[in-house]
Amino acid sequence: MRFLTPSRPVATPKDGVYTGWLDEVKRNGFDEKYEHDDDCVMYADQLRYNLKQGWYEFRCSCEVDVPSIMFGKHPLSVLLASFGTTHQPVAYEDTVRAYLTAADGGDMFDVANHPCLKENFEVLVKSVAVLYARMVAGDGMLQLLKEIMNDYDHGLATNCNAMTDTVEQSNIHGISPLHFKPSCIPNNSKLLDAAVGVHPKTIRQVIFSEVASTEVIDLHTHLLPPSHGALCLWGIDEILTYHYLVAEFFMTAPPALTPEAFYAKTKKEQADLMWDSLFIERSPISEACRGVITILTALGLETELYARDLNAIRTFFSKYRDDGVEGSEEYSSLVFKKAGVSYAVMTNVPFSPLESQHWRPKPKSYSSNFRSALRVDPLLKGDSKAIETALKVSGYSNTLEGARQYLRDWCDIMKPEYMMASTPHDFVLPEDRGSIAKGSAVNVNEDAMKQPFAFVDVSQNGCDPDCDGGEEGMASVINENSDFVTHVLMRVCEERDLPIALKIGAHRRVNPALMDAGDGLVAFADANMLARLCTKFPKVRFLATFLSKNNQQEACVLATKFRNLHIYGCWWFNNQPSIIEEITKMRVEMLGTAFTAQHSDSRVLDQLIYKWSHSRAGKNYILVNVFIICCQLYISHTVVIILQLLQKS
Ligand code: RAT
Ligand code: ZN
């Protein structure tokens, strides 16, 4: 690294001897160096250093040819000095490579061209470029050494891979998923203050490396923690029996195999069938199948995968399984770490006795990787039977106040991030309950609502926050669907300042025999319902995602009309590369950064790995796309600013 230290000036060196400046010393340049000083120490071969003045000499006779920087052969130091100010690591890679392969430099030409070693050599080049860029930016050599020794698992024996900042070409071309990789540039590095520049290659690399190293928050999953025992799903048999895959399996399953017979089998038997059908007899190219491959590859099970050896794959998981809850905890932390997910929001259903037993009388503890969301589908559905049963079993009065108290108590127990519900496919907020202006009970002018800016007027004129849509005279017992919404759900959301997440457009049980795998979608869901909710409950913050591709543009428009509406994720049937690309581009164009690009909807822990590495980049390009689109949209100067803000955030 010292040989690569830039020296000023570029004046012709005497006998190839250059001057470098020690850390913390202002690089004043050769002229200010005292030639004859008692403090000089000769350390080798006529080379000296002076600790007091902070300089040292080094000899470099290496001349390199780096056409991307300068034509012809030039001394290494001249080339490095030509960079002037600090650059991003990728800018130095060609020069570092040229130095390392030069006979009078690193002399690694053979290594660089050895078929088995050239990939490793490239990793070395990239890691040297990072350290070099950081030193030029002003990060001290001692700081770098301390970091390597203290912050990396293997200290000075750390694989150079951990110190590279650029990503593989296969990532950039969308061939392979972009796995999480902690950044090798810490937040206190001076490199973060350096300009990104306007070179497309550098911008792309910076975007990829920022996206790869940013930990995500997963807004909606169906994961439950290891302390919830059998409800915490993980491992190959669960991965293979994911309902997205079961649906795919049944498209070509033998007619003799009924869904009932399939579900009657053990998990392992079901997984065997799925594996044989989707991964051996057919090519696993669907998004859900690709997900399985990504998980297994990330876990280091390529050999087992290539051998199509399901039992060998099972052996890997049984090592954790055999350690009981501790094994699940260990596996769970491994998955979160690999996926780069700081925490995942669970879906916690108080109405399910299987789940509530883990919360009452005392909540089971769980790691900070999990946070809760209180799922309240029966309230939105107006499923009075489910609500009445829940109230009765838990000893609450069968009244609206009883239902409110039930919710408040669950909020106290679960401490949810938000309430959530998937709306039933025929969900409508009755006009008389959710109408926009007080008194216009059933007289919403549908045509007027279709006019451009209809909702601006509506929200500006505003419905009185206390607008009750004219409920007076309605029954006070729980027998009205919208009473649950208006007087229970929204009221508690307001009281507790909790957002409500709505998932709109699922058509449950299109093919009931297939169970979860038999759910479908509503081609056009009623998005006006969302507008009415946002208007009627301005103090409640709504998170919304639509299942139909047809609703996506409308959702974006609504989000620009209501500040209490936030659009999130590419859900379920939208979670396909081509659709994600389309939706994400549209969202960036219409909403800027005011939306949440993705949530995983994982049901099996391991899925966090694939859902997020596909979402970071790969064919989906989600997060990377957001920033690449930004770059296409703005002039380069703005891009530089955006990237610098991103780097710092
Ligand atoms: O995406 C899914 O896994 C669906 O089965 C649904 O559960 C959906 O995510 C939901 O939360 O309703
Ligand atoms: Zn879900």
The three state secondary structure string of 124-153 is: HHHHHHHHHHHHHHCCCHHHHHHHHHHHCC
Of the chain, the percentage scoring pLDDT greater than 90 comes to: 59
Kindly tell me the burial class for residue 226, based on how many C-beta atoms sit within 10 Å of its own C-beta (0-12, 13-18, 19 or more): buried
> 419 C-alpha vs ligand 1 centroid, how far in Å?
15
Give the pLDDT score at 37.
Answer: 66
Q: Which atom of ligand 1 is nearest to the CA of 575?
A: 1
The per-residue pLDDT for range 170-182, each reduced to its tens digit, is 676 666 888 999 9
Residue ranges with strand state E in 160-307: 216-218
Distance between the two ends of the chain, CA-based, in angstroms?
29
> 221 C-alpha vs ligand 2 centroid, how far in Å?
6
CB 244 within 8 A of CB 369: no
Angstrom distance (rounded) from CA 330 to CA 149:
25
Q: Which residue has the higher pLDDT, 125 or 423?
A: 125
Q: Would you give the distance in Å from CA 610 to the centre of its chain? A: 11
Nearest of 410, 370, 342, 411 to residue 226 by alpha carbon: 370
Give the pLDDT score at 474.
Answer: 29
Model confidence at 155: pLDDT above 70: yes
Angstrom distance (rounded) from CA 196 to CA 640:
6
Instruction: State phi, psi for 93 to the nearest 5 degrees.
Output: -60, -45
642 falls in which pLDDT band (50, 70, 90)?
low
Average of per-residue pLDDT across 203-221: 89
The per-residue pLDDT for range 239-257, each reduced to its tens digit, is 999 999 999 999 999 999 9
Average of per-residue pLDDT across 580-601: 91
> 220 C-alpha vs ligand 1 centroid, how far in Å?
9
> 188 C-alpha vs ligand 2 centroid, how far in Å?
38
Pick from 287, 572, 602 the residue to mutate for probing ligand 1's pocket: most ligand atoms within 8 Å of its CB.
572
Quick one: DSSP state of residue 66? -
How high does pLDDT run on average in the chain?
A: 84
CB 465 within 8 A of CB 538: yes
Model confidence at 8: pLDDT above 80: no
Model confidence at 457: pLDDT above 50: no
646 falls in which pLDDT band (50, 70, 90)?
low
Give the pLDDT score at 569.
Answer: 95
* Non-local CB neighbours of 326 within 8 Å, separated by 6+ positions: none
Give the pLDDT score at 203.
Answer: 79
Give the pLDDT score at 12.
Answer: 59
Q: Which residue has the higher pLDDT, 54 or 629?
A: 54
Q: What is the DSSP string of 587-643?
A: HHHHHTT-SB------SSTTHHHHHHHHHHSTTT-HHHHHHHHHHHHS-HHHHHHHH
Of the chain, the percentage scoring pLDDT greater than 70 comes to: 81
Nearest of 196, 169, 240, 187 to residue 91 by alpha carbon: 196
Residue closest via CA to ligand 1's atom 1 equals 572
Ligand nearest to the CA of residue 503, numbered in listed order: 1
Instruction: Tell the residue number behind the tokens 């990787």, with chain if given.
Output: 369
Q: Which amino acid is at 472?
A: E
Q: What is the chain's percent helix, strand, coil content, to nearest 5?
A: 50, 10, 40
The per-residue pLDDT for range 391-439, each reduced to its tens digit, is 999 999 999 999 999 999 999 999 999 999 988 777 777 654 433 333 3
Give the pLDDT score at 526.
Answer: 87
Average of per-residue pLDDT across 623-647: 57
Model confidence at 472: pLDDT above 50: no
Report the range out of 3-7, 114-118, 458-462, 525-529 with the highest average pLDDT: 114-118
Pick from 220, 222, 574 the residue to mutate for probing ligand 1's pocket: most ligand atoms within 8 Å of its CB.
222
* Structure tokens that stand for 68 in this block: 């991307």
Q: How many degrees, rounded to 5, is the angle at CA 497 between CA 494 and CA 501?
A: 90
Point out which residues pair with 370 in neighbouring strands: 344
Give the pLDDT score at 471.
Answer: 34
Angstrom distance (rounded) from CA 287 to CA 104:
50
In whole angstroms, how far apart are CA 635 and each of 42, 88, 584, 641? 52, 20, 20, 10
Ligand nearest to the CA of residue 547, numbered in listed order: 1
pTM for the full model? 0.84
The per-residue pLDDT for range 332-383, each reduced to its tens digit, is 999 999 999 999 999 999 999 999 999 999 999 999 999 999 999 999 888 8
Model confidence at 486: pLDDT above 80: yes
Q: Ligand 1: which residues within 6 Å by Cβ? A: 422, 503, 506, 516, 572, 601, 603
* Structure tokens that stand for 427 in this block: 């969900």
